[in-house]
Structure 1
Amino acid sequence: MMGEKFLCLLLLCGIHAHYSEAAIRLVGGRNRCQGRVEVLHGNRWGTVCDDGWDLNDANVVCRMMGCGTATQAVSRARLGRGTGQIWLDDVACTGRETSLASCRHSGYGRHNCNHGEDAGVVCRRSSKRMRLVGGRSRCQGRVEILFRNRWGTVCDDGWGLNDANVVCRIMRCGAAIQAVSGARFGRGTGQIWLDDVACTGREAVLARCRHRGYGVHNCNHGEDAGVVCREAAIRLVGGCNRCQGRVEVLHGGRWGTVCDDSWDMNDANVVCRQLRCGSAIAANTNAGFGRGTGQIWLNDVACTGRETSLARCRHPGYGRHNCQHSEDAGVVCRVKVLSAEEVQK
């Protein structure tokens, strides 16, 4: 039964059905950050009516999906008509909510709509508009942003951990360890796009932070800002979003998988917490998210569930196993939207 559920999940990924918090998905778009909005209620997926649907509502959806900000709130089933239940109508978000369910609405199943009014979103995948250059890993480097089809740098005037935390979160790199100034990751070239950036740490994209305006600055490239983020020594591969997939750990500079012998919810919860993805929904076995390649690093993992990282759980040692990649372990986590306090940790 569990294998069938994960097969279904993987098939849905292939047709652009993408999930966040196991309670929302985008269907029918060209990528994971656009599509018809569907929510899960009473174990059934249903659509959202477009009455009153606007960018505030769309921004909440995009943030839940880890897709930055909304560029469009789509109405009249322009991303395809759903079938079955229409769950929400007259949704009225402020734009600050952490989930669509927290927004005002008429109540589940209460509507005067048909599927010709299904709502959708198109989100700006913010990580594609930002990059880190000159670091030793993908989670450190000089901050560069894309504006008007040109990459440019950020000046370090006032650059601090709140600003760096926004960057690290956009880049899926956890919390910031350091806000780097003085072009320590090398001088950029060309445009300097932002100066006097002042984030609270809660913004979904750097552009939402206070700043002087694009291209307005009194800097040179000797003041280019950078970040060092806490890059997790663990990752999830092959899932529909960052909080589900095959578990892989980094050891000795090489990524490797975890064998599913004794793999259970205690182990899965440690992985989900380590990746700041909330609690575990499922502990996946038998390479349900695809077979890895190369090294198998861990076997017979035995977590209590309270550990802060998988490395702290009992196991026989790195590289000691009697497994093959058909036994690769995975997890499905309940995606968690981080508070400002959690981002700072």
Structure 2
Amino acid sequence: GESVCGGSVMLAGPIPTLLLLCLATPSWQQPPRIQVRLAGARSQAGEGRLEVLYDGQWGTVCDDDFDIHVASVACRELGFESAVTWAHSAKYGHGEGPVWLDNLRCAGTERSLAECHSNGWGVSDCHHGEDAGVVCSARHPPGPRSPGPGPRVRLRAGAQVGEGRVEVLQHGQWGTVCDEKWDLLAASVVCRQLGYGTARQALAGAQLGQGLGPIHMSQVQCTGYERSLQECSFQEAAQSGCRHEADAAVRCNVPHTDYQSQVRLAGGRSPEEGVVEVLVPVGGALKWGAVCGERWGLNEAMVVCRQLGLGFASHALQETWYWQGSPEAGEVVMSGVHCTGTELSIQQCQRHGPVHCPAGGGRFSAGVSCTDTAPDLVLDAQVVQETGYLEERPLAMLYCAHEERCLSHSADHADWPDGYRRLLRFSSRIHNLGRADFRPQTGRHAWVWHQCHRHYHSIEVFTHYDLLTLNGSRVAEGHKASFCLEDTNCPPGRGWALVVVNPKHEVAESDFSNNVMRCQCKYDGHRIWLHGCRTGTGWGPGGVRAGGALGGSERAGPRQGRAGRAVLMPAPETGPCARQQEGQPAQPGAEEGNVQRCAHPPGEQPWAQSLQWTGPVPLPHSARQGEVGPPLTCGSPTHTGPSSPQGTSTAPTRCESWSSSSAWPLTSSEARGVELSRGSPQPRALGG
């Protein structure tokens, strides 16, 4: 076993020398081919007890020396891009059969667990109470993996396959390209670099949305014959004064596929909505049928909309009783559908072998609503890094936070009201870089009134926080509830802070991969340092950083979400720790004669510049008391009560609008159930 002390890993006992002699595999010997699977009780695809098939028998892996590098190799072997974290002590239940691997050590670059070092097959002193588990990223690779390094260019924010904002990888960080002198020759180089044909359009003026972070290239000039954009002549963007309003984008000529003919929407009021009907082989013949609505979510709906060329999914519907499907497609032919969101067709997603849909089809058939625009939330990592600090707050001031489950479970047994909590606090600025407003799915009639803070909740989980050790083990549990950041004490040491916005994908976005921000953190018991903060889009394709910390992909989670605004509050936060690496760049397609088959994943969608509050909101206590921020001016004060968002009562004053001379931060307890909107940077009133 192993223990974590001050952020470093200490072996509990010496490893026998004889075992060390068995760790190396002779260079001339090919490691045995093995099969890997996940088993046990699990809440989502991509997590479970790790099991391997060796010598015709399934067995488990011991958690001794198990770390995030081992988990990453296992997840890639399972078809995922990377690992999010790992679990010890049989979290997913006790396995059966032999414990095949013990003291398993990987560098993280191996193609298979069979290439990693271990005590040898079946050489173990473990029992099944030490079975290891893994949590893999929600994203699968979009297609066959190239044996060489991936391209140093990718497309972002496109509603269709083969279009998007151009981003290039330099110095381990993704950045955009300025549109000065951007033309079809340069755009064609990008398209061919990604495995497409020539460019159809070279777009300027951030037509497909503005990026965030560095601008790497400006005044790009290509002859059209270069193999990569980096071979063209260009100027460092810092010398040109470019801004993200001038981000370049492309639309590529994409080879024709028959994906669009394998799915259709029926019964909707417009061509962009309806019951999902798929064409699949049944009994040796192709047949149209319905999809079971059970566990149908936004990832699955996104794949369908993109497959039809309709852009993004705005809603994933599990009941469609108000739409009439095609009479010949009434039978459910697909169930248990689980997509990562990068597939090019619904037929590429995981699904049940034999169809199993207890509720049947009909009103419980899956449906979608598609749109050509979507929001895209990105947390400003620089603000988090510059504003982190510790605060000790008496429990007497945290009753509301405890009532709303913002504190970790250890607070249930605290010395109320005389104790205190040590909180990690920082300011947050969340940008909506998409071309649509970020709005809650739940109507105001369904918002939940919380008496303690006297406000409405329009979402269950808006932001999630974790504190991890360097090897990816969770130190502090994740937190739920909108903008609720109070946390508990954490042991001194080094680790990762992880913040995930819209973690359950409750609200559709064009790009979920940049919803994650992670920082390296150092805590000495008295002070906290946050450094190296990056959003998901800021990490290179490798995802593994110095210190042995892991790079993951976007956090897997249920699908559903809600809102914030451009300049958010300084909020207390648990020392989150991170590993969410940005998704891999698009893989180049394999050329067959004059036809290029593209493995590039569908793009993600654009961005707006700022967010604004909408709807009535109580005048924040901190503003009334003049405790934080510049002075506020309240316009059209009203008295709305807890009976409904529009009802009247003796509730505190609310403002239909408010203004200040500069960005004004809200406290975590006052920023709840909000809507993120594009447009003017002037904050307006908020919906509770």
Q: TM-score, normalised by structure 1?
A: 0.45
Answer 1 or 2: which has greater helix percent: 1
Q: TM-score, normalised by structure 2?
A: 0.25
Larger Rg: 2
